[in-house]
Structure 1
Amino acid sequence: MQEDVGAEITEEPAGGGDAPAPAPEPRGREAAPGRGHTIVIGAGLAGLAAADRLAGAGERVTVLEGRDRTGGRVHSVREWDGTTFDAGASWMRGEENNPLADLVRSLGLRTAVFNRSTETAYDPKGRRLLFDRHRRNMEDVNLLQEHMYWANIGAGPQDSMEQGIDQALYDANLVRARARDAKEIVYRMVEADHGADAEEVSFEAVGAVHEFSGDDVVFPDGMGQVTDHLARGLDVRLEHVVLGVAHGGDGVSVRVDAPGGEETLTADRVVVTLPLGVLKADGVDFHPELPEDKRLAIERLGSGRLEKLFLRFDEVFWGDAEVLVHLGTEQGAWFHWYAGQRVLGAPVLVSRNGGAPARFLAAMSEGEVVEHAMASLRTMFRKAPDPLDHHLTAWTDDPFARGAFSYSAVGSGDGDRVALRASVDDRLFFAGEATEIEHMATVHGALLSGLRAADMVLEAQD
């Protein structure tokens, strides 16, 4: 929530036209001398990054995906007269020295940032806050975060983010309205960043994440372009739901429910990129069972809940603001709105709700969620019209996701992510954002994990 001026949308790459793109050359279909066959479970960013690197190194690769599309929790939706929006992962966190940014630039993809200098805040009654009041609130938030960072040094695994926030409020000597507003903003930030409540998130998570510098950017044409590129020419088998994974001295076998019925595929090894939420649901049978430290890590780490609502209107009624903040909403829902008139090129508002606000909305029907959102918007904009259309995500109920991303729950720590990423007998390898220590819950973390797992597979053969 910095107040920096957002950069302009980068120029679209030259070329294009309406001619269909040529079919990509098949790759990874045969093993080069000295290489073998690896099955990759999951065609999300982690799985496709692993498969892309393995295929490039001469490995035979088979990618199994339960959905009828690639991308996993990256899902670009194109349904509103050419407007593309990312229902899943959408932000690239820091574009400087970020390996994902390097890939994005090499592909010539358009990126954009929301203009934070236009950020406008409203009080619980829908009255616009004076600029100086909102600036003071954000200065208080930055002060709280600084105190939380230093207090985190002495934190233990059982300390929660809630306890850290309360201690920071005391240390910063914030009281009354200033303490109330700063605390609410930090709570909403925790819910959006972790998909969980402050009392559920480990306070140690404050200093655990390494952030790249530079702007946080989104993709006007969809982040799905990245996964589409990584999947080019690979043997990706959609609607292949993995039921079980077995391994032994002779290799691995993966049992799947495929369109033609149940079947078993064999290979030399497997890279598992199932989301933490799916592993926690225990829907895949491992034989022999996973090591105890890995099972305990799956149990201790948290799978966050975060959902988005996109609203499309016939015109912009909220002014030039690209970021809206609404304090004091019911159950904390609809705290943040991002306006897409410049970034997406259409009058679209999107809000993210995580943790308790997401659970509050989950008890409603889809129509009730939209009505609740509009009631909140009309507190700020009395004459806001009904939306022309909407899109509401349901990642928590998605059987192939079971949540948005991982978070460090109270009682968990870096050791759990180390255990989760460890290979088993040089047959089972693991990737996904949940296996990352410094880059968990990020798209670049998923990318790095896939590359790391692929390198481990290749090293095991040398």
Structure 2
Amino acid sequence: MNTRSLSIDPNVANPDVVVVGAGIAGIAAARTLIKQGVSVLVLEARDRIGGRAYTEQETFGVPYDHGCTWLHSADENPLSSLVRDKAGFDIFDFGKREPIYFVHRSRDGNQGAQRATEQEVIEIEKAEDALYDDLWGYDAVKNGDTSIHHLRPPRDRWDQLAQLRKGSFEAGVHSNRLSVIDYQTQYETGTEWMVPQGLAAGIFKALGPVPVKLETIVESIDWQGKDIKVQSSQGIITCRSVLVTVPTEIIADETLTFLPALPQEKMAAFHELPMGLLDKITLQFDPVFKSLVPDANTNEAYLETPKDMKQTDSWHSHLLCPFGEPMSTMFVGGGLARDLTAESGDAAQDFALSSLASVFGEDIRKLFRKGHKTKWLADPYARGGYAYSNIGKNHLREVARQPVDDRLFFAGEALHGKWASMAPGAYETGQKAANEIINSLL
């Protein structure tokens, strides 16, 4: 996806609205505003649009999503029809693919992992189902919020995997920091789709072009007077309303400043919505790689880790042979992802290779061709993958979203309840903010 081609002439003089950030929320809002005749200019710090939704195919020669990858709860997801019908992209029904498990049976865990037996798969699924039942059976109104980890502390290695799947592998944070209420609030229908041509590419093709000024870092928003002054690395822009779509921590730590400061309760809300971290280490192999697991085609694979491997998780998560390609994507989240951010790209690739070698043997290294690791924590305009709510603070997602003075508006995945941490959360809050802006300008 050529993200530059999805922007149109950014030389909009005195726009009604400035949108800070050209991710899904910002682009969705801008399209809604333009359709209603509102002049708008989107300011983006990077040299591309998309934010944490980014597809490119230069690295591996096939579409590769650096960020959001799944259409979660696709039967309810508002982006599903955009990607499939409006953009015309193909859909892969990931929900029909069964996970593959590799476990250690030797006492010291150093003799290589083997494919789980039918009985072991039953035990793994029982642990997953038990956690799921406890999560939905918990009466948070009566008992108050708690963490997913505290609700059902792991008692064996199968429980540990279930916790990792809810925590580091999905939310990018340890399950002892994940709110049960936040989990209960979100959509989870079980219908999961993927997009071979790239999820981000499909979303932005469907949304269409907007006026975007790239490589423009917004530093402050002065809303003291009648007009708002947006100070950026490219100068000052004056407008009537501003929509801010940046990640929560950029507001919380005042990298982006407001004059006057945002209300205290607003700032407190952003502080309670920190960023989780989920990165990908993607490896491309010789086509022979596909013969190692002949039945793998876009399957999750969970590998019990060997005892002598330096790591913080007892299991590793890989996506094997995505869309039939001789590739593997390792998902690393939470503390492990933070540790690997400090490592070189080669070290991260070697870590993922070592994980696979614990199952397939050291000869797999001979099949390796090239690799890539995302580093969302090191990206100053991302600060991580997506935001989670601290325990007991789920309600603050809406407090963070609420407009200030009918001139400052906010949107992003972190500010949605049911679609929190997911792409449709950004899309719907962007549209909602745009409609609020339209009403305020009338």
What TM-score, normalized by structure 2, do the two folds share?
0.88
CA contact (8 A) 2:82 2:203 kept: no
Native 8 Å contact 1:77 1:86 kept in 2:
yes
Structure 2 unaligned blocks of 5 or more: 105-111
Q: Partner residue of 1:394?
A: 375
Note closer, same or farther for the CA distance 1:224–1:145 as it changes in structure 2 (3 Å cut).
closer
Question: Which residue of structure 1 lines up, in the alignment, with residue 173 of structure 2?
Answer: 196
SS of match in other structure, 1:457:
helix
The corresponding residue for 2:390 is 409
- The SS at the match of 1:459 is helix
Shift of 1:108: 1.2
Q: Distance in 2 between matches of 1:59 and 1:239?
A: 23
Q: Are the aligned partners of 2:24 and 2:51 in contact in 1 as well (CA < 8 Å)?
A: yes
Question: C-alpha separation between the residues in 1 aligned to 2:163 and 2:93?
Answer: 22
Gaps of 5+ in 1: 1-19, 170-174
Deviations for 1:243-300, whole angstroms, at most 9, x for unmatched residues? 1101134121101113xxxx10001101000111322332111111011111001112
1:126-205 equivalences under 5 Å are 126-153=113-140, 154-157=142-145, 159-166=146-153, 179-205=156-182
* Distance apart, 1:365 and its partner CA: 2.6
Match for 2:58: what amino acid?
Answer: E
- Name the aligned partner's letter for residue 329 of structure 2: V
After superposition, what is the alpha-carbon deviation per residue over 1:380-428, rounded to whole angstroms, capped at 9, x for unaligned? Answer: 00131342111100001101101110001224221x1111111111110
Q: Secondary structure at the match of 1:67?
A: coil
Q: Is 2:374 aligned against 1:371? A: no
Matches within 5 A, 1:37-436: 37-80=16-59, 82-104=61-83, 105-114=85-94, 116-124=96-104, 125-153=112-140, 154-157=142-145, 159-166=146-153, 179-211=156-188, 213=189, 215-229=191-205, 232-258=208-234, 263-315=235-287, 316=290, 317-321=292-296, 322-328=299-305, 330-332=311-313, 335-341=316-322, 343=323, 345-382=324-361, 383-386=363-366, 387-414=368-395, 416-436=396-416
Contact between 2:345 and 2:372, CA under 8 Å: does it hold in 1?
no
For 2:355, the aligned partner's letter is S
Assess if the C-alpha contact under 8 Å between 1:333 and 1:353 holds in 2.
Answer: no
Residue-pair matches, total: 419
Q: Distance in 1 between matches of 2:337 and 2:101?
A: 21
- Work out whether residues 87 and 203 of structure 2, in 8 Å CA contact, stay in contact via their aligned partners in 1: no
Q: For residues 351 and 99 of structure 1, do their structure 2 counterparts lie closer, same or farther at Cα, with a shift above 3 Å needed?
A: same
**Distance across 2 between alignment mates of 1:333 and 1:369:** 17
Equivalent-residue separation in structure 2 for 1:234 and 1:368 (angstroms): 39
User: Structure 2 vs 1, CA of residues 388 and 25 (structure 1 numbering), >3 Å: closer, same or farther?
Assistant: closer
One-letter amino acid of the structure 1 residue matched with residue 228 of structure 2:
V
What secondary structure, in the 3-state scheme, does the structure 2 residue paired with 1:110 have?
A: coil
Give the match for residue 172 of structure 1.
none
Helix, strand or coil: the match of 1:40? strand
Conserved 8 A contact 1:28-1:235:
yes
Contact 2:252/2:270 (CA < 8 Å) preserved in 1? yes
> How many percent identity over aligned positions?
27
Q: 1:141 to 1:334 in 2, by over 3 A?
A: closer
TM-score, normalised on structure 1? 0.84
Q: Distance in 1 between matches of 2:97 and 2:49?
A: 36
Aligned mates of 2:212, 2:314 — CA distance in 1: 38
The alpha-carbon distance between structure 1 residues 51 and 379, as it changes in their structure 2 partners (threshold 3 A), is same
**Conserved 8 A contact 1:111-1:220:** yes
> RMSD of the TM alignment (CA)?
2.5
